[in-house]
Structures are given as structure tokens and as C-alpha cells.
Structure 1
Amino acid sequence: MELFPTSLRLVLERMPAFARESLEEIRLRENRPLEISYGSRYAFVREDGTLTEQHKEAFVPGRELSRAMLERVTNHSIYAAEEELRRGYITVSGGHRIGLAGRTVLDKGLVSHLRDIAGFNVRIARARIGFGAQVLPGLLDFKARTIRHTLIVSPPQQGKTTLIRDLARCLSSGEWNHPAAQDWDSRKVGVVDERSEIAASERGVPTFDLGPRCDVLDACPKAEGITMMLRSLSPEIIVVDEIGRPEDADAINEAIHAGVRVLATAHAKDIADVFSRPVLAKLAADGVFGAYVFLSRSGKKVEHRIVTAEEAMQESSRRYSRTIGATPRDAPWESNYANVKSPSSSSVEVTVKSRPMPVIRSPDARGASGDDDA
């Protein structure tokens, strides 16, 4: 709460306890209503802290409040946060990520930085100890006494980072949660934490519990971080969040051919989305991942489904008709999984429209030409 200017903090502190305890996002938009999300719901916040669905009744932050917010989240040094501003977010103490909206400034067609920042999305980071306990047994490679190369998949805000954080803790602590793995040793885990969300490191020291045998490269790009890990930290398992660039795929291939297991996440809804993204499609087609974990969420309840590489390839070759795009989190559960017999079903029948594999092309590093300021 100390991140927020006094007038805004007083509003947030008056919110009902049920909203504060399950708070996920606080959206501050200049001259527009203050919004929060909690569970699978959203609401606008009145000046007295009560919640409403009517945006015209909500507290409206002005220009001065937005300026004060920017000063606080950059620790009164916008220039020191220039690299984070270029990427569109700032990660603060505790692993909370603040997304920024404003006017982008371009340099040779690439985003140089943001200015006239008028929107903030504060995403609340929380550790869920034990979250990975029911998932990890389905990822084990019993012959090698470790995990299979695994990709965790879901749309945004479904729990990928929370899950990967607790899986890293389990692997580093030797909490395999399977009777056949009781005598297995723990593993050396290397976390490449590009957005400082997995470990929430402060001065290089994780503030979230990642177990006793975990090393973290904080604020390091994924591809470079994986290479650095391989060269100097001898990890047995590398953990990365939100892969999707060609250089990420190259680094992952380098890791698996060095005998290191990979645990990664990516934005997608299902197998069809995985095979629709060129980088993920290439990794999947090459059989890089031995298991996929698909997450869906309704309120506080998170469902998971584990699919083997073989099952993923079979699903990708079937045909079905679907609506492109993720289902909103507040939609009825059945609309998310139309073919599931019941929420407790352990097997989910999913088919994917057959299509040619996309061609992988390397993007132009310089980008398109354009105005310096757009």
C-alpha cells in the first residue's frame, strides 16, 4: 500500500475485507474510474471504499495523482527505470508487477521508452505454498528421477507464474509428492526471472521461498539467462516464464542438449493455440516438451490437465470448430470445456483443427522505419 499516494491509499484501505484478501489487480487510469479485480470478478471503487458496478459512481484519479504514482513506483528516478519503462512495466518489492500505459516513443521503429504515462495496472503477487503438489507427480520422469521437459500453458492471469514458482520450490526441496519418489534427491534449480516475478528478488536475494537449492538470475532476459546458467551455475533444471521468442527456443534447445531439464510457461489456451504460435509450434513439433500442463480458473479454483507429448500431437491432428481467443474467466465452467463430462473428470477430450505448420521466420532486428516519436 505504501506505493500509492495518500489520497488513493485511503480509498483502497476502506475497501471491504473480502475484496482486499482476494485482490489481484488495481487499475489506476487518469481521469477514469478506479477499478479492481478480485477472484473472477471486477468492480469500481467509490471514494468511501465501497464497491460498485456503476463506473460513474467511482473515484476518479486526476493528473496529479498519476504523477505522484509514477514518482513512487520509479522511486523518484524515472531515468533509473528507463529500461523497465521501455518494456512497459516496473516490478517492485514483493514481486508485484505494475503495467504501464501511455505514449510510446520510437527509435528506428522500435519502442525506446514510454512517456505521458496515464495508466497503471498493479498486479498482486502471492506465493501459494503447496500449489504444485498435485501437479508435480504427473510430470515425473521415473527413469531419470527428475521431471520431464514441461510447458505450462494458459491465458493470462490463470496461475502460471504462481504454479511455476511452487514447482521450483518443490524440486529444489525434494518434495516430489509421489510414493515412488520418496528416496529421490532434490535437484539444483536455476530460475531465469526476467520480470522479477518468480522470486521477487531484492538485491539479488529471493523474497519468495524457492527452496534450498535454487539460484536466480534476476531481471535477466530469458535467452541470455539460460546460456549464463549453463556456463556457470550447473543447473539440473532451468525454470523460465512466458517463452515465445525465437531466441528463447534456441536457448531451450541448447539447454536440453546439455542434459538439463526445462520447466517453462507460455500464453495459450489449448493445444490449438500452442500449434498456432510459430515458436511454440516448432518446439512442440520437435518433441522438446514431454508434458504440457493446461490451466483454467474459476474464482479461486484452478483446474489443471496434464497432456503428454504423444497426446498433444494426436490432438493437434484432429479437427474441430472453435472460437478463436480465450474464454473470459467469469464465463460458466462448461463454456471453457464443452467436451468435459464433469469437473472431476481426469481425462479431457480436446480436438484441434488440422492446419499446415507455420513457417518460422526471423524478424528484422531493426524493425520497420517510422517517426522517432509516435
Structure 2
Amino acid sequence: MTQSLLELFPISLRSVLEQLPTPVKTTLEEIRVRENRPLEIGYGSRYSFVRADGTLSERENEAFVPSREHCKALLERITHHSVYAVEEELRRGFVTVSGGHRIGLAGRAVLDKGAVAHLKDIAGFNVRVARAKVGFGSEVLPGLLDFGSRTIAHTLIVSPPQQGKTTLIRDLARCISSGHWHHPSATGWGSRKVGIVDERSEIAASDKGVPTFDLGPRCDVLDACPKAEGIMMMIRSMSPEVVVVDEIGRPEDAEAIREALHAGVRVLATAHASGLSDVFARPVLAGLAADGVFGRYVLLSRSGGKVEHRIITADEAARETSRRFGRTIGATPRDAPPLTKASSVPAEGIVPVTVNTRAMPTIRSPAPVASLTADRGEGHD
């Protein structure tokens, strides 16, 4: 937890968080501040309440309880003492602060013609701690490579919330922009131009347009821009070879991704889902999958405090979704025991989804020159 993040909190609340044990600080993921309710944190794969001296407890009645004054002061710091300046963010239910930390908000919704106009009486905050994990992408990237085109396949990374999608996509962007492909057969490929559409300001954590996370030397960022519009802006103005977007799911996102495909641009995206079955249960994602857009799917899951990944090709996805197998609808809690065959739930009524595969356009890249790549040592960290 950085000092700049700590400084968001009012002094009395900050003093509690500063006393957290060091191992907890280094794995801190969430700080939940609720008016007149126990202070709670999420770290590793656990949740605990926090006492006034910074020690942890499983008992809510032992926890420090933030007051209305604490919540009011926190909101003022988050909004720089001007709620109207972040009215659009309040309408969406979160504010992203310096460093890429996203703060979810809960309160009373104010409606305008049936749509949420903004929030008021805010009494709940979920501070999600953003941190780079350099090296995360190196474990996954070799399985995403399209060797015929010397770039990545169109890829969708899926998981429930807080499994590491944004952290992974950030490090993959860095690897691709730097030309670190982490595969011996990709030596000499060089780097690719990466365009990130960072709607929630989490991937790059830009400060006045400049990324604060390391995204490599050949990366451009559209900050706080809606994904669908941003994808088209990137293609028209910045000629990316790979477009990176987080949390797709709307029909307009799908149309922009299809436009990127036809423009010869590779797409690296994330979406909320607990597995392939959930992907194919969401109409927008199912449509993209059925059209053969994605050549790879990366499924993320937690095992204890470690994030594990599984890479599935489009052909494998087609085979998996054609089977009738037991599954539990939705994500399971982090501390739930592994699902056994005996405890699985029959998937009655699940209709298999047909997944097509399609050839992707070849990316125009210069052929490797043996003498140059040998001198430059491209392709490896």
C-alpha cells in the first residue's frame, strides 16, 4: 500500500491502516469503509476486520468503526472537495484515483428518467488496491502466440472479480510492447504497437495522460474513454497492432471488436465470467465466440493466495461447450472447498453453443534478419 493511497484517508482512519502488519500490507487488495460499521480489508485470499490498533480479527464487534465524519472526509479527498467534478464517475458508481486505485461507492441512487444520474448519501467505499505484477504475463504469453503471424491470437481473459484480470492484461501489454515474447521460437519478432483503451483508468493509471505503470516503449493509452468509441479512435489515429481493453460485455463493445478484427488489429480483452459456460451464457460474448473471434481463452482462478491460469483454444472451447457436464452457476467464494465430482450440480437444460474458428489476417511485419537479431538480442528479457 503506497503512501499516496494512505493519504486519501482521514488522519484517524489512516493511523489504523498504517499499523497493519507488513505481510498484510504487501498483499492488500481491498479496504472497505462503511459508515457506522466495522472496518474490513481483503488481502491474499482472506477477509478480516481491523481493530483500532491495526491488528486483525474475525469478530466484527472488535473492529474499528468509521463514523459519518470519516466517510464525509474520505469522499471529499477522493473528489478533491468537488463532487460535481466527478459527477460522471459517481453516476457509474466508482472513482479512479492516482495510481489506478478504483474506489467503488455505495449510497442512494438519484434517478433521471429512470436512469442513474448520480449517487448521494454515500456511506460505503470499496478501495481496490492496484499494483503491477511484473512477470505475471510471462507465464501466460507463450500460450497466446500466433506463430503464423508473429503476434498474439485474439484473446479473451475471463474470471470472476478480483482474480487478476487487469493485472495480467497490464503485464501482457508491457511484454508485447517491449517485444518480450518469452518463447524460444519467437526470437527476433521484435515488439508490436499496443493501444490501450483504459475506460476506468486502471490499466495504465495515467496521470495527465501519462501512464504511471510500465507498459513498454511502444504503447499508447486513451484514458477514461468508453471502450467502443476508444477502439475505433485508436484504429483511426494510432495504427495499433494490438488493442487492449478491459471488461467487455456491451453490444457496442462487440461491434468495435469486430471492426478491429477486419482492420487487421489483434484484440486482447477481459470479461467477467466464472468459466466458459458463463461466457457462452452472456449473449454478447457468446456472439463473439460463435463468430470465431477469439483464438484463445484464458481462465483465471485462485487457489489459496495464488492465481492460476488455464489457456483454451477455440477448438478446445468448441469441444468443451458441446458436452453436458456438471457445474455450479456463478463464481464460488474464495474459501469454498474444491468442487468434487460427487458434489457437482447437473446442468439440466444447458444448450450447447456452436463455436466457429476462423483464419486471422496476417500482420504485416518484416521478416527476421539473422544478423540483426543476433546483434540486438531481440525477443528475450
Q: What secondary structure does 1:32 align onto?
A: coil
Residue among 249, 263, 266 paired with 2:268: 263
Q: Does 1:151 align with 2:156?
A: yes
Q: Does 1:165 align with 2:161?
A: no
Aligned counterpart, 2:359: none
What is the one-letter code of the residue matched to 1:355? V
Per the TM alignment, residue 299 of structure 1 is displaced from its structure 2 partner at its CA by 3.5
Aligned counterpart, 1:239: 244
Distance 1:154 1:306 in 2: 12
1:33–1:60 contact (8 Å) kept in structure 2: yes
TM-score normalized with structure 1 length: 0.90
What is the one-letter code of the residue matched to 2:351? R
Per the TM alignment, residue 357 of structure 1 is displaced from its structure 2 partner at its CA by 5.8
Residue among 65, 68, 72 paired with 1:67: 72
- Which moves more between the two structures, 312-321 or 97-106? 312-321
Per the TM alignment, residue 143 of structure 1 is displaced from its structure 2 partner at its CA by 0.6
Q: Does 1:355 align with 2:351?
A: yes
Aligned counterpart, 1:195: 200
2:16–2:52 contact (8 Å) kept in structure 1: yes
- Taking only the aligned residue pairs, the percentage that are identical comes to 75
Per the TM alignment, residue 298 of structure 1 is displaced from its structure 2 partner at its CA by 2.4
Residue among 47, 50, 53 paired with 1:45: 50
1:320–1:352 contact (8 Å) kept in structure 2: no
2:322–2:353 contact (8 Å) kept in structure 1: no
Distance 1:353 1:203 in 2: 51
Distance 1:353 1:272 in 2: 13
Q: What secondary structure does 1:215 align onto?
A: strand
2:156–2:298 contact (8 Å) kept in structure 1: yes
TM-score normalized with structure 2 length: 0.88
Distance 1:23 1:44 in 2: 13
Per the TM alignment, residue 92 of structure 1 is displaced from its structure 2 partner at its CA by 0.4
Per-residue deviation, residues 308-356 of structure 1 (Å, max 9, x unmatched): 0011111111101222111111223x33xx47xxxxxxxxxxx997416
What is the one-letter code of the residue matched to 1:100? L
Aligned counterpart, 2:317: 312
1:161–1:197 contact (8 Å) kept in structure 2: yes
Per the TM alignment, residue 278 of structure 1 is displaced from its structure 2 partner at its CA by 0.5
Distance 1:6 1:29 in 2: 16
What is the one-letter code of the residue matched to 2:44? G
Distance 2:348 2:24 in 1: 38
Per-residue deviation, residues 79-103 of structure 1 (Å, max 9, x unmatched): 1010111110000000000000000
Call closer, same or farther: CA 1:353–1:17 in 2, change over 3 Å.
Answer: farther
Residue among 279, 282, 300 paired with 2:284: 279
Aligned counterpart, 1:329: 334
Unaligned runs of 5+ in 2: 1-5, 342-346, 355-381
Aligned-pair RMSD on alpha carbons? Answer: 1.4
2:205–2:213 contact (8 Å) kept in structure 1: yes
Distance 2:348 2:34 in 1: 39
2:29–2:42 contact (8 Å) kept in structure 1: yes
Q: Does 1:32 align with 2:48?
A: no
Distance 2:158 2:298 in 1: 6
Distance 1:75 1:298 in 2: 39
Per the TM alignment, residue 75 of structure 1 is displaced from its structure 2 partner at its CA by 0.8
Aligned counterpart, 2:90: 85
Aligned counterpart, 2:297: 292
Aligned counterpart, 1:96: 101
1:174–1:187 contact (8 Å) kept in structure 2: yes
Distance 2:282 2:312 in 1: 18
What is the one-letter code of the residue matched to 2:226? P
1:320–1:353 contact (8 Å) kept in structure 2: no
Q: Does 1:131 align with 2:136?
A: yes
Q: In the comparison of the two structures, how many residue pairs are matched?
A: 344
Q: What secondary structure does 1:276 align onto?
A: coil
Aligned counterpart, 2:209: 204
1:189–1:238 contact (8 Å) kept in structure 2: yes
What is the one-letter code of the residue matched to 1:21? T
Aligned counterpart, 1:366: none
Per-residue deviation, residues 181-219 of structure 1 (Å, max 9, x unmatched): 011020000000000000000000000000000000000
Q: What secondary structure does 1:227 align onto?
A: helix
Distance 2:276 2:336 in 1: 20
Distance 2:246 2:31 in 1: 22
2:321–2:352 contact (8 Å) kept in structure 1: no
Distance 2:229 2:117 in 1: 21
Q: What secondary structure does 2:116 align onto?
A: strand
Structure 1 consecutive aligned stretches of length 4 or more whose deviation exceeds 3 Å? 351-354
1:316–1:354 contact (8 Å) kept in structure 2: no
Call closer, same or farther: CA 1:309–1:356 in 2, change over 3 Å.
Answer: closer
Per-residue deviation, residues 160-191 of structure 1 (Å, max 9, x unmatched): 00000000000000000000001102000000
Distance 2:352 2:129 in 1: 40
Call closer, same or farther: CA 1:352–1:194 in 2, change over 3 Å.
Answer: farther
